[in-house]
Amino acid sequence: MKYLKFWAVLMLVGLLAAGCGKKSGLEGKVVDGKGQPMANVKVVASQVQPIKGYEQFEATTGSDGTFNFGKLFPSSEYALFPWSDAWVNTPMMTVQYDPTNLRIQFYKGGWITDRKMTVQSGPEGETMILPAPVIVKQAISTVEGKILNGRGQPFANLKVEVKQAQPMKGYEQFETTTGADGTFRFDKLFPASDYTLTAHEDEFVSKKGTVKTGLEEQTVTLSSQIVFRFLVSSDGVVRDSRTGLDWAVGADRDTNYAQAEQWVANCRLAGGGWRMPTHQELKTLYQQGVGERNMDTSFKTTGWWVWAEPKDSSSAWDFDFNSGTEPSYNRRYSDDNRVFGVRSRPR
């Protein structure tokens, strides 16, 4: 009886030893979005149904992007997770694996999507070679362009900001500064997403609509140069980068000439220094077909006429934004007339 127990235990140990000796391999390749090998990528293989001793393994890709596991449990399902310290500043990454039409996202902490990349190890003693490379892309897109001022010259040292229309963590907002040639570049935006582009010069701000990013790791070069002519400060001063003049818009009500002069003389907006504009200066603001008054929408007014400098003792020049002409009116006239203050840009 003792001999039978001894042989039974010996056979059990043998079976366990044989089971522990089961091994199979898995080999694959990691490439970037352009099909180039990615070296030094750590690939973690985690067994979906853990068996003691086979739960998790790690491998690192070589210079040709290949990785190899040699001690996986045979014919078992493993989840693969790639990571490189070079990706630490990228909020999100994407894995694409064509044989299964797999496209999923991850970051350093793990998978973002419920689905994972799973593969089957080879039969006992054999190595399974993945039929296609594992494509890893940074979930970023690049937008670049060039900004001009109102004179058609490069707008240098201008702070440019983009804000994501539908914010996603890590991609909400970015800033850069234009170079001497007016160019700017954002290289970590979220792919296929809308961003609002805004420019800042000191306290002056101008919004320039929406730009749309491309797909992952793609660069969108804005086809037309962006012109930032008018920028507005928080207190409502409008800066014209074409003429170098600052503008203050008076109250939006009918105003005769005496009232216009008094408003300008008393205006202390943004440090003061305002005067009545000339009709030639007002003419620089006329842009046929722009806004509701043939002027940039930065100027908030419902009037069509703006007072200019005196003509004689009883009349003053006026600029008609409806027709683009420069008539003169009696100073007592007020219907639909408004007042703008102007000053040279402070240095």
Domains of the chain: which residue ranges? Answer: 23-138, 141-228, 238-344
Dump pLDDT digits (tens) for 152-185. 999 999 999 999 999 999 999 999 999 999 999 9
Give the pTM: 0.75
For residue 122, give Cα distances in angstroms to 43, 76, 284. Answer: 17, 8, 76
Q: Is the pLDDT of residue 11 over 60?
A: no
Res. 21 pLDDT band, cuts 50 70 90: low
Tell me which of 35 and 2 has the higher pLDDT: 35
| % of the chain at pLDDT higher than 70 | 93
Predicted confidence band of residue 224 (pLDDT cuts 50, 70, 90): confident
Q: What is the pLDDT of residues 51-103, one digit of tens each?
A: 999 999 999 999 999 999 999 999 999 999 999 999 988 999 999 999 889 99
Across the range 106-110, mean pLDDT stands at 91
What is the mean predicted confidence (pLDDT) over 279-291? 96
pLDDT of residue 78: 97
Range 225-236 average pLDDT: 91
Q: What is residue 16's predicted lDDT score, i.e. its pLDDT?
A: 39
Reply yes or no on whether the pLDDT at 7 is more than 80.
Answer: no
Tell me: pLDDT of 130 over 50: yes
Instruction: Decide yes or no: CATH 2.60.40 for domain 238-344.
Output: no
Q: Class for domain 23-138, per CATH?
A: mainly beta
Q: Domain 141-228 - what CATH class?
A: mainly beta
Grade residue 347 by pLDDT with cuts at 50, 70 and 90.
Answer: low
Same fold? 23-138, 238-344: no
Alpha-carbon distances, residue 178 vs 115, 155, 270, 342 (angstroms): 41, 7, 26, 28
**Residue predicted with more confidence, 2 or 313:** 313
Q: Please check the confidence at residue 140 and state whether its pLDDT lies above 90.
A: yes
